Amino acid sequence: MKKILLLFLPVCMLIMAAQTKPKPKSSVPSKTTMANGKKVFDAQCLVCHQADGGGVPRMNPPLVNTSYVKGSKTKLIQIVLKGMNEEGDIDGQSYSNVMAPHPELTDQEIADVLTFVRNSFGNKGSVVTTAEVKLERSKLKGGK
């Protein structure tokens, strides 16, 4: 009986530990994040990148199915924080309009708008977190 109890106790502890493990965060953005991101997009991004995310040819790049939207979240965060003032080539197209920096946006607003962009206009990307934005902002200020 003691042997059974000694074998049963660790099994019970493992089952309990497995049930109390935090569930991984979903890579699917919440409706609230998407709604908040759309508000920021409409206020800050829509004029240049257009309501459909198509941009303006040779001036403002599209947000539809482009490597930079689907690619590095870090690079996108840096573009929002620092802006972009050099003529750039994106996916074989050249764009010349300056993108103003938006350091006035909160970490939450940047996370929400980038999550919105990465999951709108036919894009499917991972969620941008406030922690990721905060880290990039601190790097620009001479942090880590």
25-56 pLDDT, tens digit each: 557 899 999 999 999 999 999 999 999 999 99
What is the C-alpha separation between 131 and 33, in angstroms, rounded? 15
Identify whether 65 is part of a domain. Answer: yes
Note whether residue 78 is domain-resident.
Answer: yes
94: phi then psi, degrees, rounded to nearest 5 = -100, 135
CATH of the domain at 99: 1.10.760.10
The per-residue pLDDT for range 69-90, each reduced to its tens digit, is: 999 999 999 999 999 887 777 8
8-12's contacts with Cβ under 8 Å and 24+ in sequence apart are none
| Domain boundaries, position 89 | 37-140
Residue 100: pLDDT band with limits 50, 70, 90: very high
Q: Answer whether residue 135 is part of any domain.
A: yes
The whole-number average pLDDT for the span 124-128 is 96
Tell me how many domains the chain contains: 1
Residue 57 forms part of a structural domain? yes
93 beta partners: 90
Residue 9 lies in a domain: no
CA separation for the pair 129, 110 (Å, rounded) = 9
Q: Which residues contact 70 (CB under 8 A, 6 or more apart)?
A: 118, 123, 125
pTM listed for this prediction:
0.79
Stated as kind and residue range, the H or E segment containing 89 is strand 88-90
116 in a domain, yes or no?
A: yes
| 77 exposure class (CB count in 10 Å sphere: 0-12, 13-18, 19+) | buried
Residue 13 included in any domain: no
In a domain, 69, yes or no: yes
